[in-house]
Structure 1
Amino acid sequence: MHDKIRGPLYMTLSALSFATMGSFTKALSVYEFSTFQILFFRGIISGIVVYFMAKKGEITLGGRTSQGKKLLFLRSLFGVIGAALYFFAISKINLANAVLLNNLSPFWVIILAWIFLKEKPSKKGLMYLIIILIGALLVIKPKIDFEVFYSCLGFLSSLFAGAAYTYVRHLRTMDNPRNIVFWFSIYSSLFVFIPMILMNYKSPNMYQMLLLVAVGVCSSLGQVFLTLSYKVAESSEVSIYQYLNIVFATIYGIFIWNQVPDMYSILGAVLIIGSGILNLMTNKK
């Protein structure tokens, strides 16, 4: 199979894996599992899957350098905070809206790279960022109620995810992808262990355990397919397919959770996805 086909295919499978993970996470929230317990199992299971998929020498103790170890820790810290906010939002609001707000992370990367890495975006890039923020407001629909609060948590999850991905941009020159994913999984489990115990750990039955395992497997598959996609194709050629995550989540939301997006959410999604596609096309040119 040609790389021009494999790249988009891997990214599509990654988007499907992450959307499926979100649906399994929402299913677990029905049984009142804490976000920390879900994250703990996700990290452990994902770490095991990645460990056995890694080649000899790819998994090292921490990072390959002292700076790499520090960046791995910070990437994991911001990543687990973002994941916790995202999972909590999934349990409380429309699945498609939570996924949509979390997918704003690439644009936080642009802003953070501008601030900390001095990578100034183009004028068109700034224009797309403004349109995206307008789209996010349409999805959140500011008003005084708890759903707005949970939507804001989903929005914040993209900020922390964006910070984590900014660290990944440094790490990719110092470490291999499987080691980065492995240690993110392990660190995320360690970070949430004590909160999980304090939040009344709940012993899962067989069905619930299968759901927890499914979250971890889907998470690791999403990361692996993402890595493979960027390995065989240029970022500008495959990044656009990440937005299929939103499409898959919408399908799950409609047919499994009976959650039909309202017109404001649909319009916001069009603005966000459209601006994202235009931004990618501009960068590709």
Structure 2
Amino acid sequence: MDCILETIQKGIRSLELKQPRYAPIYYILTSSLLFSINSMLSKFVSNIPSSQIVYFRAIIMCLMNTIVTSNQKIPLYGFTKDIYKKLFMRSIFGCLGTICFYSGIMQVSVSEGQVLFRTSPLWTSLMAIYYLKTEKFQKSLFVNLILCFFGIFLISQPPILLNMLGYEQIENQQETQLMGIVLIILAAIFSSTIQVLINQLAKSVNQLVILQYFSIISIGVTSIALFIIPAQQWLIPNYYETIILSLIGGTSYFSQLMMNRAYMKGNLTEISMLGQSQVIYGYFIDTLMGTNLSIFSILGTVIILASLIKVVLDKSKSSQQQKGP
């Protein structure tokens, strides 16, 4: 195992030395692809409670991260109370957000889930304005929020819109899809909270330490949920489901590492823009799986993507103005 890890580390160092400009691009595109595959895999175990998916995912991530941190001799203890508090909060929010995501992705298409989850930059901006007080509310953000909510409105395909345009309504399907949309937006809001906490922790601890605490606390939280919540009762997976659950854990871990590396080594604006490639992968996966996407979903996705790209560009412009000439 040590030999494998050493080979991977040498490959990464070689790539970043030979292609410093393109290495972060490779990382974020690979991360987006793995995240999309992860969402697709969860569709194959839709009968298993979301808490159990997160439980298995956390175990796989914890085992893999333990091997990596041991190999690199990264200390996992001995921090201040403030750091432990932030690690705990990041882990709890991360666990709740992950449960919401896997619960929601079962009820919407992969592409819809991807674009709704990618709305986290909007919620991060609102948090920076009203909670952190590090940004000011601007008209451009208000316009982006309106566009985003309109896109979500189209994806949800409300009865009033279908009636106006003469489309047939399937009540149970609409209720299920609406619940999925709400859960994934909640996951995006949790993700924006996590981003703030990670930014605060990044200066004090290694990114692998954050992943380790997240995995351990997720195991504890989901273990409790599986025994006390009737809807999340434990189901014994068969061999096929066990393989899928293991793949979900593996793709989650490598997706996280690739994304973190991309943001560490690349241009923030460029990486954020390329992160939207998840939606393209999502549409490709939906096509392979034979998912029927309505014109409303496609139009809503395009509108949300446009608003998110505008947010990224506005933030880039604002940061450049603050730095000055």
The equivalent residue for 1:102 is 117
1:104–1:158 CA contact under 8 A, matched in 2: yes
Structure 2 Cα separation of the partners of residues 5 and 149 of structure 1: 39
Q: Deviations over 1:86-134 (max 9, x none)?
A: 1011112222212221111121111112122102244323322222222
User: Which of residues 217, 220, 226 in structure 2 aligns to 1:196?
Assistant: 226
User: Which of residues 47, 55, 64 in structure 2 aligns to 1:40?
Assistant: 55
Alignment of 1:97-246 (within 5 A): 97-121=112-136, 122-143=138-159, 145-198=175-228, 199-246=232-279
Q: In the TM superposition, what is the alpha-carbon distance from 1:244 to its structure 2 partner?
A: 1.1
1:109–1:166 CA contact under 8 A, matched in 2: yes
1:140–1:152 CA contact under 8 A, matched in 2: no
1:33–1:202 CA contact under 8 A, matched in 2: yes
The equivalent residue for 1:12 is 29
Q: In the TM superposition, what is the alpha-carbon distance from 1:59 to its structure 2 partner?
A: 4.2
Q: In the TM superposition, what is the alpha-carbon distance from 1:237 to its structure 2 partner?
A: 2.2
Structure 2 Cα separation of the partners of residues 57 and 65 of structure 1: 20
1:59–1:178 CA contact under 8 A, matched in 2: no
Amino acid at match of 2:146: I
1:35–1:87 CA contact under 8 A, matched in 2: yes
Q: Deviations over 1:50-105 (max 9, x none)?
A: 222235343413x7221111111111111111111110111122222122211111
Q: Which consecutive residues of structure 2, in runs of 5 or more, have no partner in the other structure?
A: 1-17, 160-170, 318-325
Amino acid at match of 2:179: F
The equivalent residue for 2:84 is 69
Whether 1:260 aligns to 2:292 is yes
Q: Secondary structure at the match of 2:41?
A: helix
Q: In the TM superposition, what is the alpha-carbon distance from 1:279 to its structure 2 partner?
A: 2.4
1:51–1:59 CA contact under 8 A, matched in 2: no
Whether 1:276 aligns to 2:276 is no
Structure 1 Cα separation of the partners of residues 75 and 150 of structure 2: 42
Q: In the TM superposition, what is the alpha-carbon distance from 1:190 to its structure 2 partner?
A: 1.1
2:104–2:179 CA contact under 8 A, matched in 1: no
> What TM-score does the superposition give when structure 2 sets the normalisation length?
0.81
1:82–1:156 CA contact under 8 A, matched in 2: yes
Q: In the TM superposition, what is the alpha-carbon distance from 1:35 to its structure 2 partner?
A: 0.6
Structure 1 Cα separation of the partners of residues 264 and 135 of structure 2: 26
Structure 1 Cα separation of the partners of residues 305 and 279 of structure 2: 9
2:40–2:285 CA contact under 8 A, matched in 1: yes
Root-mean-square deviation over aligned CA pairs: 1.8
Identity between Structure 1 and Structure 2 (%): 23
Tell me the matched-pair count: 281
Structure 1 Cα separation of the partners of residues 262 and 256 of structure 2: 10
Structure 2 Cα separation of the partners of residues 119 and 137 of structure 1: 30
Amino acid at match of 2:245: L
Greater gyration radius: 2
> What TM-score does the superposition give when structure 1 sets the normalisation length?
0.92
Structure 2 Cα separation of the partners of residues 150 and 138 of structure 1: 14
